[in-house]
Amino acid sequence: MDICEELRSKLKEATRKNSADAILLSGGLDTSILAFIAQPATAFTVTLKDSQASDLIYSEKVSKLLGIEHKKMEFSVEEALNALPEVIRILETFDLALPNDLSLYFALKLARKNNVCSIMTGDGADELFAGYSYMASLPPKSLKKYISQLSKSWHFSANELGEALGIEVKQPFLDQDFVSFALEISPELKVKGGIGKYILRKSFEDLIPPEIVWRKKEPIEYGSGSNRLRKIIANMVSEEEFQSVKEKTGIKFLNREHSFYYHIYNEVVGKMPQASPSAPSTFTGEGRGEVERCPCCGAGMGKWHCRICGFSRPLKGCL
Tens digits of per-residue pLDDT, 82-131? 999 999 999 999 999 999 999 999 999 999 999 999 999 999 999 999 99
- Residue 154, pLDDT above cutoff 60: yes
The pLDDT value recorded for residue 284 is 34
CB 136 within 8 A of CB 194: yes
| Whole-number Cα distances in Å, 194 to 101, 106, 134, 189 | 28, 33, 10, 11
- Residue 169, pLDDT above cutoff 60: yes
The pLDDT value recorded for residue 175 is 98
Q: Report the percentage of the chain scoring pLDDT > 70.
A: 93
Count other C-beta atoms under 10 Å from residue 136's C-beta. Answer: 19
The pLDDT value recorded for residue 273 is 83
Please give the Cα distance from 254 to 251 (Å, whole number). 9
Q: Give the chain's radius of gyration (CA, Å).
A: 20
The pLDDT value recorded for residue 283 is 36
CB 197 within 8 A of CB 29: yes
How many CA atoms within 13 Å lie on the side-chain side of 214? 10
- Residue 318, pLDDT above cutoff 90: no
pLDDT grade for 303, boundaries at 50, 70 and 90: confident
Convert the pLDDT of each residue in 211-244 to its tens digit.
Answer: 999 998 888 999 999 999 999 999 999 999 999 9
CB 85 within 8 A of CB 99: no
Average pLDDT, the chain: 92
Q: Give one DSSP letter per residue of 3-54, joined into a string.
A: HHHHHHHHHHHHHHHT--SEEE--SSHHHHHHHHHH--SEEEEEEETTS--H
Q: Give one DSSP letter per residue of 265-305, joined into a string.
A: HHHHT---PBPPTT--SS---S---SPEEPTTT-BEE-SSB
Is the model's pTM score more than 0.85? yes
The pLDDT value recorded for residue 282 is 39
Convert the pLDDT of each residue in 179-193 to its tens digit.
Answer: 999 999 999 999 999
Nearest to residue 139, comparing CAs of 188, 93, 80? 188
Q: What is the mean pLDDT of residues 40-51?
A: 96
CATH code of the domain occupying 3-227: 3.40.50.620
The pLDDT value recorded for residue 289 is 44
The pLDDT value recorded for residue 280 is 47
CB 146 within 8 A of CB 138: yes
pLDDT grade for 319, boundaries at 50, 70 and 90: low
| Whole-number Cα distances in Å, 167 to 17, 94, 116, 201 | 17, 24, 7, 30
- Residue 291, pLDDT above cutoff 80: no
Please give the Cα distance from 135 to 46 (Å, whole number). 27
The pLDDT value recorded for residue 39 is 97
User: How do beta strands 300-301 and 292-293 pair?
Assistant: antiparallel
In eight-state DSSP terms, residue 226 is G
Q: What is the mean pLDDT of residues 164-182?
A: 98
Please give the Cα distance from 126 to 157 (Å, whole number). 15
CB 181 within 8 A of CB 10: yes
Q: Where in the chain is the domain with CATH 3.40.50.620?
A: 3-227
Nearest to residue 249, comparing CAs of 262, 235, 240, 233? 262
